Amino acid sequence: MTVSALLDLRGPDIEPAADANGFESQLADPRRSPPALYSDPEFLDVIARVYFPRRASQVLDYAVGSEVFRLLTVAGHGPVVSQTFIDFHEPVAPGPLRPRPLARLAFASLGLVPVDSFRRQVPPQLHGGAPVILWKDFPAWGDYLELLRERRALAEDQRRRRRLVQHVGALSFQADDLEGDVLPTAFAWKSARDRDAGRAELFADEAHRAFFHQLRRRGLLRASTLRAGGQLLSIWLGAVHRERWTGWVFTFNPESALARYSLGRHLLYAMLEHSHAEGHREFDFSIGLEPYKLGFATHVRPLGLAGTAPWRDRLSATARRWLGPFHPHPPAGGGPRSISQELS
């Protein structure tokens, strides 16, 4: 798939952007930077041992259209194309063996686009997006803070930090906190938030807890924390891979007296400054278009379908092109919310 075809997610029916400054013209080739952790053999071995125990597995390359993707392949299951904590797939340079054919792959990275362009023009066929910060555009940490100041976020965050310090005392940041309370506390806070939101509890599944313990044993986990007087305030569970910091779980102390201080944002500032100081290429917020991510991000990885869409999708896309939006079974109360609506 060429850069000019990256928006052609469902066949030849999608019109390219006419504006020279629009989405497609600014879309960068996904192969220009090393792929994410999700195609790393050691990471995929953790996935295999936790989620497919006692089953033979190997990491193989698959050709999807003109791109190559590296996927965990499990005996009796085939390529693992969808799995909790594998947030998306990125093209890789082909290995020494001929890749196996794969018709299509969902949640594939389609490149990089500036966040403002992504907000203006979001193709409805996208499966989502992964906001990122590219540090190459900010030689000094202060240069990035100036961007946040222009977005009118910095002053309010600084004010809340001062009030938080007055309330709890001096703040302590650990880029990788090895204390024994970090993982159990993160699991408990995330479960509490899931219950409050009426969602299924992620960490009710023992395998999901085992995943993070296995990452820790392998030296792959980076558990970042913000504390005050030893008390945990916020936790990020993630990893750094090839100068790219990413994460899966971002949670904070649920005490009502602390809610007004936006605890997670203060941890995030410390992490971003640390990432910049370590000379990382990027900070990857991973999948999800939450407003706070877009407020910090400089770019977004659009995620969509690589390869050939199922014939029903191609037929529906052709109908939309000629007849306008088409819903064979319109949902009650109107159509589904689009990604662009979620940004508001």
191 falls within a domain: yes
Cβ 94 vs Cβ 61: under 8 Å: yes
| One domain for residues 266 and 208 | yes
| One domain for residues 223 and 311 | no
Which one-letter amino acid corresponds to residue 191? S
Q: Which domain range does residue 99 map to? A: 3-110+304-325
Please tell me what DSSP assigns to residue 304.
E
| One domain for residues 226 and 157 | yes
User: Per the structure, how many domains does the chain have?
Assistant: 2
Query: Can you give the pLDDT at residue 14?
Result: 27
Q: Which stretches of the chain score pLDDT less than 70?
A: 1-33, 123, 309-344
Coil vs helix vs strand at 104: strand
| One domain for residues 271 and 319 | no
CA distances from 307 to 87, 211, 304, 310 (A): 18, 30, 10, 10
- Which residues does 17 contact at the CB level (< 8 Å), separation at least 6? 7, 23, 24, 25, 121
Q: How far apart are the first and last CA of the chain?
A: 31
334 falls within a domain: no
Query: Can you give the pLDDT at residue 137?
Result: 94
CATH classification of the domain holding 218: 3.40.630.30
CA distances from 47 to 16, 99, 288 (A): 38, 21, 21
CA 166, 168, 172, 173 dihedral sign is negative
| One domain for residues 105 and 137 | no
122 falls within a domain: no
Beta-carbon count within 10 A of 100 CB: 13
| One domain for residues 77 and 182 | no
Q: What is the pTM of this model?
A: 0.82
117 falls within a domain: no
124 falls within a domain: no
Q: Which residue has the tokens 């014939």?
A: 311
Query: Can you give the pLDDT at residue 32?
Result: 57
| One domain for residues 224 and 143 | yes
| One domain for residues 76 and 172 | no
Query: Can you give the pLDDT at residue 10?
Result: 29
| One domain for residues 280 and 147 | yes
| One domain for residues 15 and 139 | no
| One domain for residues 173 and 275 | yes
